[in-house]
Amino acid sequence: MTSGPTGLPQRARLSLGVQRAVCIALSPLTTLAGYLVLRAWLRLRFVGTGELRRAYRRFRRANRGAPLLICGNHLTMIDSALIAYALGSPLWYVLHFASMPWNVPDRNVFAAGPWQRALTYAFKCLPIERGGSRLEVADALARFMHLLRRGEVGLIFPEGGRSRSGRVEVENAAYGVGRIVKSVPGCRVLCVYLRGDAQREYSSLPARGDTLRARIAWIEPKTDKRGLRGSLDVSRRILVRLAELEREHFDAVA
């Protein structure tokens, strides 16, 4: 099996290309469905999205083809959708499909059955089995890194799971995030702190009718450590920045 310049076997590259084409074809429907769930069904209100979306658009315009990893705090099971919506409107994503982030949800939760698998496929997801075979996890990470190297956007949660305390837990840094950043040359990180006013601790969904506020920070985390320690250090730096954004959030709403 041949490998491309990003080291991913041809078959895996082909499979990602097919998924990308399917996602593009379905994007008018998927973005509309996402919009209806967030705004009509959950009746969520987003504060300050205009500024965030402008900043995101500016970055994408000025850094065409640059790898970007969005790292968010994690409190609900639909944080990926919430963050994506905070950064771009459904119509903008249809027109700028590469700016809609790829996700790596837990396969056992989000892609257990055939319908869920189809949905995650259409919503730019690469399901990964948390705690599964190391080689399978490595394979999913390799696909994710391949996409970033090609200038796509990825979204990941550096805490590895929803924060049980309801606050950013720096000590729970998942080393895989640092590994991705280290392995993708020039990878920029967009830290996004997003929280609903009614969100006290972790939950499945945000409270219906909640008001969500987001803060962002661009970083290019570096480390002088090598190997695993380096990856862990990068992950921690990202979480430290997210914790700072969290402090700013609570200072602002106090």
Task: Select 137 or 207, whichever has its Cβ closest to another protein.
Answer: 137
Beta strands 153-156; 102-103: pairing state: parallel
CB-nearer residue toward another protein: 5 or 227:
227
**Contacting residues for 29 by C-beta, under 8 A, at least 6 apart:** none
Question: Which DSSP symbol is given to 218?
Answer: E
Helical segments of the chain, H only? 10-35, 49-62, 79-87, 90-95, 107-110, 114-122, 134-149, 175-183, 227-253
Instruction: List the one residue out of 88, 92, 80, 71 whose CA is nearest residue 187.
Output: 71
Q: Closest separation between CB of residue 210 and another protein, Å?
A: 29
Q: How far is the CB of 151 from another protein (least distance, A)?
A: 23
User: What is the amino acid identity at position 159?
Assistant: E
Please report how close the Cβ of residue 113 comes to another protein at its closest, in angstroms: 23
DSSP 3-state assignment of 200?
Answer: coil
102/20 Cα distance (integer angstroms): 10
For residue 168 the two structure tokens come to 């950013």
Please say which residue, 90 or 178, places its beta carbon nearer to another protein. Answer: 178
H or E element that contains 107: helix 107-110
Which residues are at the interface with another protein (CB under 8 A)?
A: 130-135, 137-138, 160, 172, 174-175, 179, 182-183, 226-229, 231-232
**What whole-number distance in Å separates Cα of residue 253 and Cα of residue 193?**
14
Please state the closest distance from residue 20 (CB atom) to another protein, in A.
25
Query: Which tokens in the block code for residue 219?
Result: 């970083």
Residue closer to another protein, measured from CB, 8 or 82: 8
Q: What are phi and psi of 150, to 5 degrees?
A: -90, 10
Cβ closest to another protein, residue 32 vs residue 138: 138
- Contact between 128 and 140 under an 8 Å Cβ cutoff? The reply is yes
Q: How far is the CB of 108 from another protein (least distance, A)?
A: 12
CB of 173 vs another protein, minimal distance in Å: 9
Tokens representing 137? 């996890």
Q: Which is nearer to another protein, 179 or 213 (CB)?
A: 179
CB of residue 165 vs another protein: minimum separation in angstroms? Answer: 16
Instruction: Give the position of tokens 């259409």.
Output: 122
Question: Nearer to another protein by C-beta: 127 or 160?
Answer: 160
Within its chain, how far is the Cα of 87 from the centroid?
11
